[in-house]
Every structure is written in C-alpha cells, then in structure tokens.
C-alpha cells in the first residue's frame, strides 16, 4: 500500500513541477537570496519601494522553489493556476495606491480540507477528488479580501488522520517529510502546511485542527502554529470531523505573522453555537510589544510524564531553559499541578461525531465519486485492494453506533471536565497563561476543551530536530497568548531553518 502511495505522491509532485515550469514567466526578475524566508512585514516593505519586489516576482520565486525543493519534501499537493495573475492584479492595485492591508500580495498555502474555488478539496483522499468546490470557504474569501494570494494546497495526513496511517501520509500526495530531518516525525495532520512554511515554500499557511493537528506539526517542523478557541473563526467550507473541536488556524515562521493572519482570517459564523461570545474587531498584533512578559503570571506543570515516569522540570533541560527565558523577561512563574480529565470515552465520542459529520458533508458536496463513508471505504478497497487493512480507523468510525442524543450529555460532561482542568489553576493562581513542554501532551486537553494554544520553536534536541514551547489559556485568551508567545520568541531567538 505504501509503495502505491509513494508512487502516486511522486506523480503528483511531477505535475506540480511541470506546472511551475510551464507557468513561470520569463519576464519576472530574480529575487535576492533569502527572500523566501523574509517576514510578512519585510516583504511588504520591499513591495512598497518603487522598483522593488513585486508580488508576481515573489509568487514566481516560490513556484520555482516548490518545483526544485518539494519533490524531496512532498508538502504541496496542488498549485493554484490563478496565483500569478492574481499577484499581477494586486501589483497593479499597489501601483495605483490601493493597499488592502499587511497581507497585500503575500502568498499563502491552504490545507487540503479548506474549500477553494477552482481547486480540489480532498483531504488527501482520492475518493474526494472530483468537481472543485462551488465556492471558497469564508476564511479564504477573508484572506483574499485582505490581498493574500492563494498559492496552492498542502498535503496532509489523509482525512485528518481518520483513515489511519503514518503522520503526513495521504494516498493522493504521498508522504510529507520533515525538512529538518527526513527520518523525523513530521506531525499531523497539517503536515504539509508546517513543512512548507519551514522549508521557505510560502511565508504563511492555514492549518486546521481537531486534536493536535496544528500544534503537533508546527512543533515538529520548527514553526509557529496557533490553534484558536473553537468558534473564534468561521468553520464553514471545511471538510469536518467534529464541530465540537474543529477549527482552522494560522501557521507561520513568527508569532507576529501568525497574529497578522489571525487578523485577516477573523470573522465568526453567527449560526455557529460555538461562536456565541466570540470577540470581534480585535487587532491581534496590538499587544505584541517589548516588555510584554514583565509581570505576567505564567503557570507551568510542576512535573511531567516521560515513559510513564513522573519527573520534575529539572529533568527536561529544554523546558528548563524555556522557563529561564520567561523568568529573565520578568514573568512570574507559578508551578501548578495539572489535573488530568477523564478521557476514557473521548475516542468513542469523537469517532461517532466524525461518522455523522463526514457522512453529512459527503452527502451534500456535489461532483465527488463517493456520497457516504460506506462508499468511501468501498472506493478505497476497490482502488487499493483489500489484502491488508489500509483504512482501520475509517472502518472503526463507520462502525460507530452512538446516536446524537446519546453523545450530547457525554460530550457536555467531558468538555466541562477538560475546561475545568485548565480554568481551575488559571483562576486559583490568577494566571495570565500556562506554558508546558510540548512532550507533556497538554495540547490534547486544550483541544478537548476547545481552548486556544500556540506552539513556538524553542531550539533543537540532541538529534537536531526542532523542539517547542507550548502556551495555552482559557477561552478567547488569544490576545494575551500571542503577547506572551511573542515575548518569549523575541527573547529566546531560536528561529531555525532546515538544512534541506
């Protein structure tokens, strides 16, 4: 099965390479070395200078870089055929004095679960390749209105990991590799989004998370990933898993660029119950200022678990250094005992949600070869054979029997338990935020609670693989989390580029 997948991934990447060779304009001027790793602010400054970098130059540069680098990485699953013309139009707007905002002319990649006009939205599955979505997801329109150029779609763990298989693998796109170490874990399911940003294939990417799908690949690939509070952003036009936990989120190489993305993506759905009380009209860059950590009360776990053993933070040199940086910047660090919520029925409830919501989505999406989960399983069996079980989770999901009436009280109890496990120490200790070592898996509890979290690079481990600090907090606490994460990032100065 993996042999077939790798072959198809190779074919997809050949198509990407052919596209860039065919569509790169000979009139575009070369861009300076290192442009692919510039921040959004730096790119905007270059574009604002007369005779400077244009959006068309940048798009062409990144298309060529994808053509040369991505066949070894497998992070981009499809390129937008309209990207270059869109960039040229935005250049004309800028020349006429109309700049839509900080993202004007900036290329961005989208995870393959996000509906995009004229492009496939397949979650990496051949069974979902057919007619493109009839319209953009609202968040895509928000980004376009702010001047972003949709560069393409990224590979991902197929069906957000709910097919079963290695992190970063899809039957359509093959295996995405970690650009820092090809043998290292690339994380899932927003694998391609994280790897592409890390490799300088785009300055920005959109990921999506149910449980860890932004945070994990961001940490593994050494980029910044924000998983917002569930309901903060509009979730329409996304292939769903569970409305109790699904959310899109920004991924970039700096906290500031993530905040700029969040500004551009903001807009909640008034019909979404999870959006009740969601703040609107916030500038998420406003608190990203020098000295933001001074006086902030930040909780951290007094102990963490490694290989089943409970250890103190002194046994984690990387996390100890994170705490030292925070303390040096004037943060007040408070050790707390994090209570683990009861997650014994979490998987059962989640799988049952996925069955209902994926069936609903497939039934309404026109032009696909399958209209239900059962048909998708049959499609995969026919295409890939049934000599081995290559879709174990999908079959387990299909076998779920819990009804919506049975699930609701169980979910309500579980979510409240997870929320109180985070809210209680924050309230009792009057904390502004919490920080943990990524390996403590705190992101799981945060995702189950529907709360926000952000992963920020903290260095490399002994094998040269990126490590990460993870900041999280209560619902709607994104402004404070971004400020704390930015303060840490500026003080730690550990942004890392892959050797490729």
Q: Where are the domains of the chain?
A: 2-275
- 237 has a pLDDT exceeding 90: yes
User: Which residues on neighbouring strands pair with residue 435, listed in sequence order?
Assistant: 471
| Mean pLDDT confidence for 404-411 | 98
Please classify residue 466 by burial: count the beta carbons closer than 10 Å to its beta carbon, then call 0-12 exposed, 13-18 middle and 19+ buried.
Answer: buried
| 124: nearest Cα among 184, 68, 223, 208 | 208
- 246 has a pLDDT exceeding 70: yes
Cα gap 353→404, rounded to integer Å: 8
Write down the residue that tokens 């049975």 correspond to: 406
- 18 has a pLDDT exceeding 60: no
pTM: 0.94
pLDDT in tens, 364-398: 999 999 999 999 999 999 999 988 899 999 999 99
Q: Which residue has the higher pLDDT, 499 or 219?
A: 219
Q: DSSP alpha helices (H): ranges in 385-477?
A: 392-398, 404-428, 442-449
Say how many C-beta atoms besides its own lie within 10 A of residue 96's C-beta: 8
Q: Which CATH superfamily is domain 2-275 in?
A: Amidase signature (AS) domain (3.90.1300.10)
Least confident of 148-157, 387-396, 446-455: 387-396
Question: How much is the pLDDT for 230?
Answer: 98
- 21 has a pLDDT exceeding 50: no
Question: How much is the pLDDT for 387?
Answer: 82
Question: How much is the pLDDT for 28?
Answer: 61
Identify the band that residue 30 occupies on the pLDDT scale cut at 50, 70 and 90: confident
- 271 has a pLDDT exceeding 70: yes
The encoded tokens of residue 259 equal 């905040």
3-class DSSP assignment, residue 336: strand
| Mean pLDDT confidence for 290-301 | 97
Contact 300, 336 (CB under 8 A): yes
Cα gap 52→66, rounded to integer Å: 23
| Mean pLDDT confidence for 128-141 | 97
Q: Which residue has the higher pLDDT, 2 or 11?
A: 11
Question: How much is the pLDDT for 6?
Answer: 31
Least confident of 18-32, 246-260, 348-362, 369-383: 18-32
Identify the band that residue 12 occupies on the pLDDT scale cut at 50, 70 and 90: very low
Specify the DSSP class assigned to residue 251.
E
Catalytic residues: 111, 189, 213
Q: Which residues contact 226 (CB under 8 A, 6 or more apart)?
A: 214, 249, 250, 251, 258, 262, 452, 453, 454, 478, 481, 482
User: Which residues on neighbouring strands pair with residue 433, listed in sequence order?
Assistant: 298
Percent of residues, the chain, with pLDDT higher than 70? 93
Least confident of 3-12, 15-24, 191-200, 270-279: 3-12
| 305: nearest Cα among 444, 479, 442, 500 | 442
Contact 253, 241 (CB under 8 A): no
Specify the DSSP class assigned to residue 158.
G
Radius of gyration of the chain (CA): 22
Question: How much is the pLDDT for 437?
Answer: 84
Identify the band that residue 15 occupies on the pLDDT scale cut at 50, 70 and 90: very low
């Amino acid at each position: 099965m993996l042999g077939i997948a790798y072959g198809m991934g190779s074919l997809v990447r050949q198509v990407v390479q052919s596209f860039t060779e065919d569509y790169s304009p000979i009139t575009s001027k070369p861009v300076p070395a290192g442009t692919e790793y510039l921040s959004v602010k730096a790119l905007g400054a270059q574009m604002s200078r007369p005779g400077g970098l244009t959006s068309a130059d940048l798009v062409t540069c990144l298309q060529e870089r994808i053509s040369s680098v991505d066949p070894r990485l497998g992070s981009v699953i499809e390129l937008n055929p309209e990207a270059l013309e869109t960039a040229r139009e935005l250049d004309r707007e800028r020349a006429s004095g109309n700049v839509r905002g900080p993202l004007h002319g900036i290329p961005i990649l989208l995870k393959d679960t996000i509906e995009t006009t004229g492009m496939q939205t397949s979650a990496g599955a051949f069974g979902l390749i057919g007619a493109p979505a009839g319209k953009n997801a609202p968040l895509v329109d928000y980004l376009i209105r702010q001047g972003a150029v949709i560069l393409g779609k990224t590979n991902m763990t197929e069906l957000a990991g709910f097919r079963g298989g290695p992190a970063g693998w899809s039957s359509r796109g093959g295996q995405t590799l970690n650009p820092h170490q090809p043998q290292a874990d690339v994380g899932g399911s927003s694998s391609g989004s994280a790897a592409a940003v890390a490799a300088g294939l785009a300055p920005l990417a959109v990921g999506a998370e149910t449980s860890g799908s932004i945070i994990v690949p961001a940490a593994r690939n050494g980029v910044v990933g924000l998983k917002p509070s569930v309901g903060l952003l509009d979730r329409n036009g996304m292939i769903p898993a569970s409305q109790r936990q699904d959310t899109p989120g920004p991924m970039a190489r700096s906290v500031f660029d993530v905040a700029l993305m969040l500004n551009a993506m903001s807009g909640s759905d008034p019909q979404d119950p999870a959006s009740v009380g969601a703040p609107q009209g916030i500038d998420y860059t406003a608190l990203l200022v020098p000295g933001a950590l001074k006086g902030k009360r930040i909780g951290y776990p007094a102990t963490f678990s490694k290989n089943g053993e409970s250890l103190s933070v002194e046994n984690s040199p990387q996390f100890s250094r994170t705490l030292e940086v925070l303390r040096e910047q004037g943060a007040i660090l408070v050790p707390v005992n994090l209570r683990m919520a009861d997650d014994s029925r979490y998987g059962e409830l989640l799988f049952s949600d996925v069955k209902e919501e994926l069936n609903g989505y497939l039934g309404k999406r026109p032009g696909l070869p399958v209209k239900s989960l059962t048909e998708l399983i049959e499609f995969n069996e026919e295409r890939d054979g049934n000599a081995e079980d290559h879709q174990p989770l999908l079959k387990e999901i299909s076998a779920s029997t819990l009804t919506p009436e049975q699930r609701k009280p169980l979910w309500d109890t579980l979510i409240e338990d997870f929320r109180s496990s985070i809210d209680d120490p924050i309230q009792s200790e009057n904390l502004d935020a919490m920080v943990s070592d990524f390996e403590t898996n705190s992101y799981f509890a945060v995702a189950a609670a529907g709360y926000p979290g952000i992963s920020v690079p903290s260095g490399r481990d002994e094998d040269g693989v990126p490590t990460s600090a993870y900041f999280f907090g209560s619902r709607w606490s994104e402004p404070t989390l971004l400020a704390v994460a930015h303060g840490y990032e500026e003080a730690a100065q550990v942004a890392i580029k892959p050797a490729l």
